[in-house]
A and B are shown apart, each in its own frame.
Chain A
Amino acid sequence: MLMATNLKSLTLRIIITAIALIFVLDFFFKAKLIQDTAFSLQRFVIPIGGFALGLGGITMGLYYARRIMRKDKFWQYDIAGVLSMLFMGLLGFLEASPQPILQWYTYNIVTPIEQAIWSALAFYLASASIRALRAKSVETALLLAGAIFVMIGNAPVGPALWPASADIARWFMDVPNMAEARGINLIVAFGTFLLAARVFLGRERTILG
């Protein structure tokens, strides 16, 4: 049993490493064999995705049906979820293009709900900013000063009252902010490569189970 599990893990690792190397080589080399292989592999995603979607739909249906039958906590939400899924799925199958009912449902129900969730972000941004910009130490005082310049420079009234504010705000964003972001991004790239190396060497197996 253990040997079979190890063999499965090893096979998966070999497949992952081989596919990853093909894409790495495709990025650097213009050999037709490598380019064609990489292109074919990318096309595999479409049928795999299609089957996965079907399987996912069935799994989700069974999962929620079990929850509803057992009357688990908040099972009423599951009924709404399953009905919505079935409704959208059926409309997709039955309705001919340009799908007016599906569009109406999307524009009048889905989009307003999405907008409502994102509108909360504005309030959350304000409360997070208030917490971050309390001048408790020298560092936070500097952060507050920088934030004031950036806010004045970006608000329409700022450059109208004080034309130099836009340039100051741009300097903050382009020089200290950019330098810090590039530094982190560079190191993150090394980290990403190390993660890949760990997967290739079989040291990172979390996602493989």
Chain B
Amino acid sequence: MQRLKYQTRAVLVWDLPREIGRMIKDGTITPFLFLIVIFVFVFATYYAAKKGKKFSIKKKIAAFDAIPEAIGRATEMGRPMHSTSGGSRTESWRGPHVVAGLTLIAYVAEMAARIDIPFYLSVNYPDQIVVGDETLRSAYLKAGHPERYKREYVLYHGDTDSSYSGGMMGFMMRNNVGANFMLGGFGSESLLLAETGNRLGAMQIAGTPTTWQLPFLVTTCDYVMMGDEVYAAGCLVTGDPIETSFVISQDYLKIISIALIILGTIISTLGSNFLVQLMKM
């Protein structure tokens, strides 16, 4: 009889915690437990919203609210609009930044489709051509004007950072764009692009969770969504209360984190490294 590659054995329900503890990798117990806590918060608020609990957000995201203004300004000037989700690979750790950026770009594209203003999306990697094409096509369809969408709206300038930056800068200069949306995961190309938009006098709205690119964007763009605001704005796009529940659960998690930071500061000041050891488990 052929030997089984993976051995299985019966585990009783009350042995389950011990079995999980045996299988878990060293140093990942606390992150795993914290992940479960996050899961509980997210799904609890999600199901509460689904059951009809009304969640609302009082704080406004200025950059998100300025999107119609930027579109209006570009339309009045008769200039096209440009956007990019950043020079990050979709499968890299900055992939979620790109996905979050594309959600907002789809929102802008939908508005652009309604007033029939050319809206271009620059992508850095070949796989994002398909994703970008699908994102814009769906947005135009959602706006009720699929015939206004052109395949040429998705621009691919090559997969190196320099070709991507150079291509975008050239495109923006040649077409004299009136509004520029930089929403996604950015690297060093952020300043090249934002400065080009600034020189053209285009209204620029940026948003990135990539911390070290924020100073460049803040100095060159009119409005900037910082860090988690990009994700929060993605939830606010539809105005759906269920989507708002995700932002609320994020706020709960922030409160827990702040409490842990304060607790850690007090405990460490008192000379104990209990919390540090706990985090390392």
Q: Taking the complex as formed, is A69 at the interface, i.e. its CB lies under 8 A from any CB of chain B?
A: no
**Once the chains bind, are A190 and B126 in contact (CB under 8 Å)?**
no
User: Of all chain B residues, which has the CB nearest A195?
Assistant: B96
**Once the chains bind, are B195 and A124 in contact (CB under 8 Å)?**
yes
A-contact bits for B114-136, CB 8 A (1 contact / 0 none)? 00000000000011010100110
Contacts of A188 in B (CB 8 A): 209, 211, 227-228, 231
Contacts of A197 in B (CB 8 A): 39, 42-43, 46, 246
CB neighbors of B among A33-71 (8 A): 33, 45, 52-53, 56, 59-60, 63, 67
**Once the chains bind, are A128 and B216 in contact (CB under 8 Å)?**
yes
Q: Taking the complex as formed, is A83 at the interface, i.e. its CB lies under 8 A from any CB of chain B?
A: no
How many residues of chain A are within 8 Å of chain B by beta carbon?
Answer: 54
**Once the chains bind, are B211 and A206 in contact (CB under 8 Å)?**
no
Also in contact, A194 and B231, with CB within 8 A (given A53-B126, A201-B46, A203-B243): yes
Q: Taking the complex as formed, is A92 at the interface, i.e. its CB lies under 8 A from any CB of chain B?
A: no
A119 vs B60: C-alpha distance when bound (angstroms):
38
Contacts of A56 in B (CB 8 A): 126, 129
Also in contact, A184 and B226, with CB within 8 A (given A29-B24, A117-B165): yes
Shortest Cβ distance from B105 into chain A, in angstroms?
8
Shortest Cβ distance from A33 into chain B, in angstroms?
5
**Once the chains bind, are B191 and A117 in contact (CB under 8 Å)?**
no
A-contact bits for B88-121, CB 8 A (1 contact / 0 none)? 0001000010011011001000000000000000
A191 vs B226: C-alpha distance when bound (angstroms):
12
**Which of A45, A53, A191 is packed against the most chain B CB atoms within 10 Å?**
A191
- Sort chain B's interface into a size bin: 35 or more
User: Of all chain A residues, which has the CB nearest B193?
Assistant: A124
Main secondary structure of the interface of A (DSSP, over half): helix
Q: Taking the complex as formed, is A2 at the interface, i.e. its CB lies under 8 A from any CB of chain B?
A: no
Number of A-B pairs, beta carbon distance below 8 Å: 148
**Once the chains bind, are A207 and B126 in contact (CB under 8 Å)?**
no
Shortest Cβ distance from A140 into chain B, in angstroms?
11
Contacts of B212 in A (CB 8 A): 181
Contacts of B99 in A (CB 8 A): 195, 199, 204, 206-207
A45 vs B174: C-alpha distance when bound (angstroms):
37
Q: Taking the complex as formed, is B188 at the interface, i.e. its CB lies under 8 A from any CB of chain A?
A: yes
**Once the chains bind, are A28 and B228 in contact (CB under 8 Å)?**
no
A117 vs B189: C-alpha distance when bound (angstroms):
10
**Once the chains bind, are B219 and A128 in contact (CB under 8 Å)?**
yes
A199 vs B231: C-alpha distance when bound (angstroms):
12
Q: Taking the complex as formed, is B220 at the interface, i.e. its CB lies under 8 A from any CB of chain A?
A: yes
- 4 closest pairs, A vs B, by CB? A191-B231, A209-B134, A114-B162, A191-B228
Residues on A lying within 8 angstroms of B by beta carbon are 24, 27-33, 45, 52-53, 56, 59-60, 63, 67, 72, 74, 113-114, 117-118, 120-121, 124-125, 127-129, 131-132, 181, 184-188, 190-199, 201, 203-204, 206-209
Inter-chain pairs besides A188-B228, A195-B234, 7 sampled, C-beta below 8 Å = A29-B25, A113-B162, A127-B195, A128-B220, A194-B235, A199-B99, A206-B103
